[in-house]
Amino acid sequence: MPRVRLGPLGWRRPRLPAPLSPALPAPQPAPLPALLPAPLSTLLPALLAALCAAGCGSASDSYVVGSAKWRGFDVAVESRPAPPRQGKNEVVVIVTGEHQRPVFDAQVWVRAQAAADWVQAIEDGHVGVYRRAVDFGRSQRTDIEVRLQRGSDEGVLAFPVSILVDR
């Protein structure tokens, strides 16, 4: 029976037999087959670079309206498309608390005209992001008003925004 010695992690590995002759080279493992044919392997780095560059574009489809503090929470408002246009636009409200953790147990209502009814924004998962399509009307400037409620605390924040006029 061959002697067995303990490996560094406590598993047992058998001792390899000594080479038959010192003049013979030790056997080499067979090379692994190429995973990609040669033409594809040369194009792979270029393809990856192009995909990364496409994902890092500077154009954004969201417009940061502003941010404010409410009861120790950071409230940021974005609008989509960028810049906001007359008519309906999506309003995104992002509420974060201490250490930039999402606040997902708040209720959020938004409106873009003082005479309009409040519409409740829907939370997008438990990530502190609330979304709603809101009618911005036909004016060139308006205030996006955000009404927040968490527990018994309630408050209203206003964010002025300029609207792109369609001609």
pLDDT in tens, 131-164: 999 999 888 899 999 999 999 999 999 999 998 8
Residue 157: its pLDDT value, please?
96
User: Is the pLDDT assigned to residue 34 strictly greater than 90?
Assistant: no
- For 59-99, how does the pLDDT look when each residue is reduced to its tens digit (9 = 90+)? 457 788 999 999 999 999 999 988 889 999 999 999 999 99
Q: Which one is the CATH code of 63-162: 1.10.1660.10, 3.90.76.10, 3.10.580.10, 2.60.40.10?
A: 2.60.40.10
78, 63 in Cβ contact below 8 A? yes
> 136: left (phi > 0), else alpha (psi -120 to 50), else beta?
alpha
- The residues spanned by each domain of the chain are 63-162
What average pLDDT score do residues 30-57 get? 59
Task: Tell me the chain's radius of gyration from C-alpha atoms.
Answer: 31
Measured torsion, CA atoms of residues 31, 36, 39, 45, in degrees rounded to the nearest 10? -110
The number of beta carbons lying within 10 Å of the beta carbon of residue 77 is 23
